[in-house]
Amino acid sequence: MARNRWMDEHFADPYVKRAQAEGYRSRAAYKLMEIDARDHLIRPGSVIADLGSAPGGFAQYAARRLGPAGRIVAVDVLPMDPLPGVVFIQGDFTDPDCYEAVRGALGDRVDLVISDMAPNISGVEASDQARSMGLAEIALDFAISCLTRDGSCLIKVFQGAGFPELLADMRHRFQRVATRKPPASRPRSPEVYLLGTGLRPVVSGPES
């Protein structure tokens, strides 16, 4: 019965209908579209990392905005059909080999890191939240390691245990941090997106 209710709601969802009409792979494309309209994240010619990309809604929208001079490297443990202008790496981003493959494919300049990564839901709330926050922390560490000074990162998180600490860490790392809940995100979902812009320089401690 629960699955039937989900299916009924899914196919009645206006964003699902809009995605079908406009040729997007998922309703998630509109989450990025709405945030981008507000914050102007995606600029022609940018280099973007898309973490947790399948089935490709974020990458598809971003590729349309970037134009031919831009580049996207997308990664997911699940397969994803090819998209023009998108390099896709299938693998587990928490695996060091996959992590390094993505880093290598991006090159020396990364302007935007987007993470829509989420764990497979087990139904055990504490465990699911911990795994979700773990993925968000990995995405943040990756962004810090590769972004340009004026780069940005957008990370999906679920409000709950660990959220205040991640928010505080992002505020330490970026000059500006904002919370975004785009209209395309279902109201009952605890998901929000943390947007960090203006990477702070790393300050080294005094030499001994």
Could you list the beta-strand ranges (E) of 52-173. Answer: 71-76, 86-90, 110-115, 147-158
Query: What is the Cα–Cα distance from 26 to 61, expressed in whole angstroms?
Result: 10
Query: What is the Cα–Cα distance from 93 to 90, expressed in whole angstroms?
Result: 9
List the alpha helices (DSSP H) in 2-124: 2-12, 14-22, 28-39, 57-66, 96-106
Annotation-wise, does 39 bind a ligand?
no
Annotation-wise, does 111 bind a ligand?
no
Annotation-wise, does 56 bind a ligand?
yes
Q: Give yes or no: 156 in active site.
A: yes
Annotation-wise, does 50 bind a ligand?
no
Annotation-wise, does 36 bind a ligand?
no
Residue 192: which H helix or E strand, with range?
A: strand 191-199
Catalytic residue among 17, 31, 156, 181: 156
Residues in a beta bridge with 48? 72, 112
Residues tagged in the binding site annotation: 56, 58, 76, 92, 116
The set of catalytic residues is: 156
Residues tagged in the binding site annotation for S-adenosyl-L-methionine: 56, 58, 76, 92, 116
